[in-house]
Chain A
Amino acid sequence: MLTLAKLNSWYGPAHILFDVGLEVKAGEVVALLGRNGAGKSTTMKSIMGLVDRHQGSLIFRDTDISRLPPFEIARLGLGYVPEDRRIFTDLTVEENLEVGRQAGRSGNAAWSPERIYEIFPNLAEMRRRPAGRMSGGEQQMLTIGRTLMGNPYLVLLDEPSEGIAPKIVEQMADAVTLMKREGVSILLSEQNLPFARLISDRCYILEKGEIQFSGSMEELEARPDLREAYLAL
């Protein structure tokens, strides 16, 4: 589905990512773990073409996306849920979803506002409300729903559990599991290991812009040293 090899990224003169390589297969939920500043968000922004400069190979469904502008990457069926959510606060909930709408794609189910409301029932109750008047957790759901409206094959989920109430985190985990069941592949960036453990098949650990570990969640369980070195606060 998505293969990164030797990805290097810069913000201005600052070199952030060093030879990052990772892979997400169809139907998988893959976690990208690491502390604040490890380069998780930069990896996602690089995939979407949103950093100043990057080098390396980015292959999405047999297409080289490393030189494409963000909107063309999105149109290939790669969805992006940014960490800072960036909902359109003046637009209503339903309008936010509509902005994300793209034509259906072969080989995956077409999403509609109604189906989004099935996953996130909270949103259904406030479809005419300006999105600015929602809680952080509800905004997070809306961002995910908005991205799903583009009928993506793969979604980049940047720290969905950050800064939201524990109860909503549980809902979020259910939603991700539901998305996976619908056939959406997911690359998830997380600092919250318990949350990632609930929903992921495999993981990568990123530290100082380099991949330090790759393996299944079970393999990570068996390595307390790794958790100590790269994930503990």
Chain B
Amino acid sequence: MELYVVQFLTGLANAASLFLVASGLSLIFGVTRIVNFAHGAFYMLGAYIAYSLTIRWQTPLGFWLALLVAATAVAVVGALLEILLLRRIYHAPELLQLLATFGVTLIVEDAVRLLWGPEDLVGPRAAGLSGAVSVLGRPMPVYDFVLILLGPAVLGLLWLLLHRSRWGLLVRAATQDRDMVSALGVNQKWLFTGVFALGVFLAAFGGGLQIPRDAVSHFMDLSIITEVFVVVVIGGLGSIGGAFLAAVIVSELNAFGILILPSISLVLMFLIMAAVLVLRPWGLLGKPLSRARSMATREAAAWKPLSPAGRSAALAATIGALCLPFMLGDYGVGVASEVMIAIIFAISLQFLMSVGGLDSFGHAAALGLGAYGAALSVQHFGVSMEAAIVIGPLVSAAMAVVAGWFCVRLSNIYFAMLTLAYAQIVWSVAFQWVDVTGGDNGIVGVWPSDWASSPAAFYWLTLAAAVAVVALVRHLTFSPFGYALRALRDSPTRSATIGISRQTIQHIAFVISAFLAGLAGVLFAFLKGSVFPDTLSIASSVDGLIMVLLGGFGTVSGSVIGAIVYKVSSIWLMSNTDFPRLILGSLIALLVVAFPQGIVGTLQIWMMRSRLFAGRPQEGTARLAETGGLS
């Protein structure tokens, strides 16, 4: 009994920091409609700066002053980021915003490593609050009680700010209709910057609060951001009260989950989130979102099956690719195989996103399930590679049948978050179910059959698979099924009136996409000879997104080019620079701002314009009229 009381109080204390970060994210989303992935990075940055200050100012006043100074400093960084980066992408699709802020996360991670070094740092206890009191005979840190009180206090202060000040009134009005607020004479820009700075302040303060309880490390950002996503989705995006309620629920769930179901404690949180999203998609205390965003078309230039010239080019490229092993050494051929696998993964995601309009932020689940499905059947049943190549994608597809049933009930940002949750569930299982998956040690000894064991032979296998998958996806895109999918993407209501079932069609697309990604996963497992939970991580999902973004969201198969460019350059970056994340992150942010259409998309638009000015306007203008549309 005593244990449960203490555990309950610890849960409440944990909720404080989580609530601060989540309320900041929710506030920012409410007004700017940006899901700020970098929120975890600001939390981490706040903790690092506060660490440096608290070890200098070890007095009761100094501790709290350090937290405030650190949070203010980070808020200034946040405001600068808003002015320099976010202002340029407020009207971009949600996924690009998520990616750009993920890029910022990468930059901050390397910056922190550069400034504070790679080791975990253990900060001092809060001066004056380092003791413990006895609760039913068990010791509880005094600091935890401070945290328990701090959460509701911050909630109260935020409520007062939002309901008793003119600034708060404008924030609440802008949360509903920011353009109208601007037409009433309010300068939106500074309102947005102010809200962003406040949100970041809360995150950084939340980071500082953790110092007396936990070591400061550069893994803090991704671990908190997933939890915070879960909290805001359960509570309702844009609702501060919801963030508080959900932070308490999630923290208590973690506190008791570890006692009662230690092996699936991580999964529990995501299951609750999935349940809430399906039953009440806008969260416990949230409100259904009004769609303020203009529905920009996805197709950069008119989609057409390949022309004879295009077919010849594709054939030539395939023949060129066939000859690669004669020109490259074993290492080069290995890289080329990895590129082919990346193509399969990227094109499967592009099918879901560009054709289906379903922005998945958890495509790693499909990749990793294929890999684990194959690796486990090799390890436990000793099946051959040939059989595993069939089993892996089937495992991935079978899981997608279940997960897809939930996911396709939602759309837009909520779909993205539910897919993220799905991938995190699978990741937690792979990570925590050590008996079966080997946990962090992964599964090793997954080697190809003899005939495919040479680097060149395996490369040809991946090449054949990649060509087949790209051809299949293009075929599907221009089949009646593809037309239905594209119709749903562009106008769900109009499609419904002509008898297309949204959930069925999108569910099938989700499963097909997972099957293909599963194939990529199997090949990846056999290429490396092993599988690790990393395959299922957020970073792995984001890899896929970047490849599609780089190739072009608005294209049918631009991600083939995106995958080649991204894989080759990231492998080069990893082995030739000390701070690959810094470069990669900057690159992502730059891409989103400067080339939102990607390589292939931008080329297509240039070609369309040059045709337009070369006096053959028919096609170009017709296309422009379609894409511009009447908003």
Contact = CB atoms under 8 A, between A and B. Distances in A.
A138 interface: no
Interface in B574-631: 621, 624-625, 627-631
A9 B106 CA distance: 42
B628 A90 contact: no
Contacts of A13: 621, 624-625, 628
Given A12-B629, A12-B631, A71-B188, A90 B176 contact: yes
A98 B166 contact: yes
Interface in B171-201: 172-173, 175-177, 179-188
Given A100-B184, A147-B184, A88 B628 contact: no
Given A11-B630, A88-B172, A88-B173, A150 B625 contact: no
Interface SS of B by simple majority: helix
A56 to B, nearest CB: 20
Given A13-B621, A88-B177, A70 B183 contact: yes
B169 interface: yes
Interface string A189-231: 0000000000000000000000000000000000000000000
A88 B176 contact: yes
A91 interface: yes
Given A70-B182, A74-B184, A89 B625 contact: no
B416 interface: no
B91 to A, nearest CB: 11
B501 to A, nearest CB: 31
Interface string A1-27: 000000000011110000000000000
A59 B501 CA distance: 52
B182 A99 contact: no
A58 B172 CA distance: 32
A99 B631 contact: no
A200 to B, nearest CB: 23
Nearest to B175: A90
B494 interface: no
Interface string A168-187: 00000000000000000000
Interface in A82-101: 82, 86, 88-91, 95-96, 98-100
Given A89-B176, A95-B169, A48 B628 contact: no
A65 to B, nearest CB: 13
A69 interface: yes
B184 to A, nearest CB: 5
B177 A86 contact: yes
A202 B251 CA distance: 66
A196 B277 CA distance: 49
Contacts of B175: 90
B621 A91 contact: no
B185 A98 contact: no
Contact of A91 (B166, B173, B188, B630): B173
B193 to A, nearest CB: 14
A128 interface: no
A146 B184 CA distance: 8
A73 to B, nearest CB: 8
A80 interface: yes
B297 to A, nearest CB: 11
Given A88-B177, A90-B172, A50 B628 contact: no
A71 B187 contact: yes
A102 interface: yes
A80 B184 CA distance: 7
Interface in B234-293: 287
B287 A74 contact: no
Contacts of B170: 99
Interface in B121-171: 166, 169-170
A74 B185 contact: yes
A52 B296 CA distance: 14
A100 to B, nearest CB: 5
Contacts, number: 77
Given A91-B173, A99-B181, A71 B186 contact: yes
Contact of A82 (B173, B180, B187, B624): B180
A75 interface: yes
A11 B629 CA distance: 7
A82 B176 CA distance: 15
Given A50-B183, A71-B182, A146-B184, A99 B173 contact: yes
B63 to A, nearest CB: 38
Contacts of B176: 88-91
A66 B85 CA distance: 27
Nearest to B170: A99
B628 A71 contact: no
Interface string A90-123: 1100011011101000000000000000000000
B306 to A, nearest CB: 27
A75 B188 CA distance: 13
B177 to A, nearest CB: 5
A11 B628 contact: yes
Given A11-B628, A12-B630, A98 B169 contact: yes
B164 to A, nearest CB: 11
Interface in B324-376: none
Contacts of A48: 183
Contacts of B624: 12-13
Given A13-B624, A13-B628, A14-B628, A150 B169 contact: no
Give the most central of A13, A70, A99, A150: most B CB within 10 Å. Answer: A99
B172 A91 contact: yes
A12 B628 CA distance: 5
A86 B627 CA distance: 27
B169 A99 contact: yes
Interface string B286-313: 0100000000000000000000000000
B625 A14 contact: yes
B159 to A, nearest CB: 14
A69 B177 CA distance: 17
Contacts of B186: 71, 99
Contacts of B177: 86, 88
Give the most central of B170, B183, B185, B188: most A CB within 10 Å. Answer: B185
A59 to B, nearest CB: 19
A88 B624 CA distance: 35
A69 B182 contact: yes
A82 B184 contact: no
Contacts of A74: 182-185
Contacts of B183: 48, 50, 70-71, 74, 80, 82
Contacts of A71: 182-188
A86 B169 contact: no
A99 B165 CA distance: 11
B167 to A, nearest CB: 11
Interface of B: 166, 169-170, 172-173, 175-177, 179-188, 287, 621, 624-625, 627-631
Interface of A: 11-14, 48, 50, 52, 69-72, 74-75, 80, 82, 86, 88-91, 95-96, 98-100, 102, 146-147, 150
12 contacts: A11-B631, A48-B183, A50-B183, A71-B186, A74-B183, A82-B180, A86-B177, A88-B176, A91-B173, A98-B166, A99-B170, A100-B185
Given A71-B186, A100-B185, 10 more contacts: A13-B625, A69-B182, A71-B183, A71-B187, A74-B183, A74-B184, A90-B172, A90-B175, A95-B169, A99-B184
What are the nearest 3 A-B pairs in CB distance? Answer: A12-B628, A74-B185, A13-B628
